[in-house]
Amino acid sequence: VKVRVVGFLDNVEEYMLASDVIVSKAGPGSIAEAAACGRPCMVYDFLPGQEEANVDFVLKRGMGGFEPDANKAAQVVLSWLNDQPTLRKLSDASRKANSNPHAAHDIAAAIITLIQVSSSEAPPWADDAGAGARQT
């Protein structure tokens, strides 16, 4: 198995696209990049509180695993690499985790709602007597 360990990269997507599996801590950027590239993710660490939900994100969506023990994580990754149907299933789940076929509609609906609210209500920081209050 070829392994390349790299630090921070400006072109991370190129490395991820050339990889079969991403091994990373539970940083939201790393997980999002892995999903965008359709790569399974083995998470080995997380920042308590701040990144715990990211581990759940990976596990609940079936896009990878969590194993803090390096030897056990390596064994799991090796098993994925030796089982193409499993690797394909994890990759498909990773791709789906990053997709929302209704994203454009959802964003447009949110913008329309914001426009309607802002044109019919005073800003939340304005009070009836203060500056910025809506005149009727």
Give the C-alpha separation, 75 to 59, whole Å.
17
What is the pLDDT averaged over residues 82-88?
97
Q: Are 79 and 60 in contact (CB under 8 A)?
A: no
pLDDT above 70: residue 16: yes
pLDDT in tens, 118-129: 666 665 655 655
Given a cut of 70, whether residue 112 has pLDDT beyond it is yes
Reported as a pLDDT band with limits 50, 70 and 90, residue 134 is very low
- As a whole number of angstroms, the distance between CA 94 and CA 87 comes to 10
- How is residue 134 annotated by DSSP? P
Tell me what percent of the chain is helix, strand and coil, each rounded to the nearest 5: 50, 5, 45
Considering the entire predicted model, what is its pTM? 0.70
Amino acid at 103: A
**List of domains in the chain:** 12-97 (3.40.50.2000), 100-136 (no CATH)
Cα separation values, 45 from 7, 50, 103, Å:
16, 12, 30
Cα–Cα distance, 94 to 37 (Å, whole number) = 8
Query: Using one digit for the tens of pLDDT, what is the confidence trace for 30-64?
Result: 999 999 999 999 999 999 999 999 999 999 999 99
What is the distance between the alpha carbons of residues 38 and 44, in angstroms, rounded to a whole number? 19
